Amino acid sequence: MTGPRTRAHGLLAWGFAVAVLLYLFVPVAVTVLFSFTTSPRLSLPVTGLTLDWYEKAFSNPLFTDALANSLILAFLSAVVAGVLGASFAFGVARLRRRTRNILLTAGVLPAIVPALVLGISLALFFQEAGLSQGLRNAAIGQALVGLPFVILTMYARLETFDFSTLEAARDLGASPWRAFRDITFPLVRPSLLGAALLAMALSLDDFVVTWFNVGSRQTLPVLIWGLLRRGIDPSINALASTVLLSLVTLVVLAKLLNRKKL
């Protein structure tokens, strides 16, 4: 039986959970709401709704260039982080536990290094290496940001991977490439695609590492930051909402793929 005290504790837990969710999502909801307001002033109450701010944002020639750069960097980050992260996870999964734990810890260190430190360190490294700022440097930095998350995602999948199937395929005469193509890749494909989509989401959202290394080029987060320096209007909210929608879509797809079992 549940007494008054138990019900009170349950209500308190629900209230705390709701308060935390409101704290997390109300600012995001307000940003999206103001991207549809008819008034150029970001104030409540909202007097009307319109898509004009989205039209203004998308007609900005800077937006087209920033979007193209963001998509290029997101694709490169997904490919580079996906290939390197999956290869690292496969190699680590076959090692002894102590060695595996040491390498995994080293592999995920970039995830806990402050973005400011990582961005400045990469900028100084590229300068000493004689590499001028641009999309290339930003792509390297973003791949480094996404790599630990790909490693963790792939390693979680490989913990339940039956490597004896590969040995059986080799015993039956399959070449290493055919064993990978017919057995390994189909089994890990959902997790690999999910990890790559997560790397893309991190790339689209990255500002600090990109800003220190992209030079005069712009991505969507860098463009939004530049526009904010001139003042805030609903067209900036429209750009931010577009980035938000892209990130949510990629994260949801990554989650669905990682839940898929083959």
**Each residue of 198-223: pLDDT tens digit?**
888 888 888 899 999 988 888 888 88
pLDDT at site 262: 44
More confident residue, 95 or 44: 95
Superfamily of segment(s) 61-259? MetI-like (1.10.3720.10)
The residue assigned the tokens 């307000």 is 30
pLDDT at site 80: 92
Handedness of CA 148, 141, 125, 220 (dihedral sign): negative
Domain-wise residue ranges, the chain: 61-259
- 123 band by pLDDT with thresholds 50, 70 and 90: very high
**Each residue of 43-88: pLDDT tens digit?**
667 677 778 888 887 888 888 888 889 889 989 998 999 899 888 8
> For residues 141 and 213, is the Cβ–Cβ distance under 8 A?
yes
